[in-house]
Structure 1
Amino acid sequence: MADMTAAQAAALWSGLMILLLVILSVQVIMARQKHRVVLGDGGNPAVALACRVFGNAAEYIPVGIGALAVLTLLGLPAYAVHAVGGALFLGRLLHATGLAADKPTPGRLAGMVLTFLSLITAAGMLIVHAFIHGQPF
């Protein structure tokens, strides 16, 4: 990973996050099939949880992928893209597994902290870079 370009780093983390979304979507499909729910959650707590786990990831991952793309277009170094992408992916993974429990868990909390940290870091880099002309960081 040390010799990756920023575009390759963005591709890696974006691809992994897309795969996570697909896996979470398949879990919704399997929960609906298991509980014979055609649409929505059918009032079934297990299906509702699977839907919410997917929905939460779907709310944050696209914004993160967009940030990775713009960071790359702006010419930020690969290590910056890896930092944002890696933290976001780990945060979403921890949150998805932590949210699968019936109560708040350390994984859920750590996942949200990493997610917010990565998005705030990306936002800061994007805002600062909007006013800097020349070499990024």
Structure 2
Amino acid sequence: MISVTPIYAGLITLLFLVLSFRVVGARRSTKTSVGDGGNEVMLKRMRVQANCAEYAPIGLILLALAELQGMPMVWLHLFGAMLLAGRALHAWGFGATPQIIPARRWGMYLTVGMIASLALANIAHGLI
């Protein structure tokens, strides 16, 4: 049987690594070892990476739980794609200068929509 969650976990990890390398690049160019050094570019890159680290894990955990409970594969792919697209859109919109507010907004809509939907689905399945 094909597992869905590892696909999205892998793709979101690659996105996180890209965001991490952007932080490392900013650290090198600004010679900032710890913190943001008062540099706005550094701060923005750190927050883009941290935002992904804050939201992606809970989405992936909920996706894995839904998969373990037997959610149909088409729904798992829908929710996985929502999380991936949400995180990518948010990173692009938030990380741009100036920010691309519609991309940031839709990134959060997709991410929060996925998390809320799967939270409710997992609760409902657990109660049945």
Please give the residue correspondences for 1:37-48 in structure 2 after superposition, counting only pairs within 5 Å.
37-48=32-43
* Rounded Cα–Cα distance in structure 2 between residues aligned with 1:70 and 1:118: 13
Q: Distance in 2 between matches of 1:68 and 1:22?
A: 21
Query: What CA deviation, in whole Å up to 9, does each residue of 1:20-49 have, x standing for no partner?
Result: 111111110001101110111111000000
Q: State the Cα RMSD in Å.
A: 1.2
Between the aligned partners of 1:112 and 1:100, the Cα distance in structure 2 is: 14
User: CA-to-partner distance for each residue in 1:43-73, whole Å, 9 max, x for gaps?
Assistant: 1000000000000000000111111111111
Give the aligned partner of residue 79 of structure 1. Answer: 74
What letter matches 1:46 in structure 2?
V
Structure 1 segments of 4 or more deviating over 3 A?
none
Does 2:14 match 1:10?
Answer: no
Deviation at 1:103, TM superposition (A): 3.8
Counterpart position of 1:29 = 24
- Larger relative helix fraction: 2
| Matched residue, 1:126 | 122
In structure 2, list runs of 5 or more residues that go unmatched: none
1:104 CA drift (Å): 5.4
User: CA–CA distance in 2 between the matches of 1:103 and 1:51?
Assistant: 15
In 2, the alpha carbon distance for the partners of 1:53 and 1:103 equals 11
AA aligned opposite 2:29: K
Contact map agreement 2:92 2:100 (CA 8 A) in 1: no
The aligned counterpart of 1:65 is 60
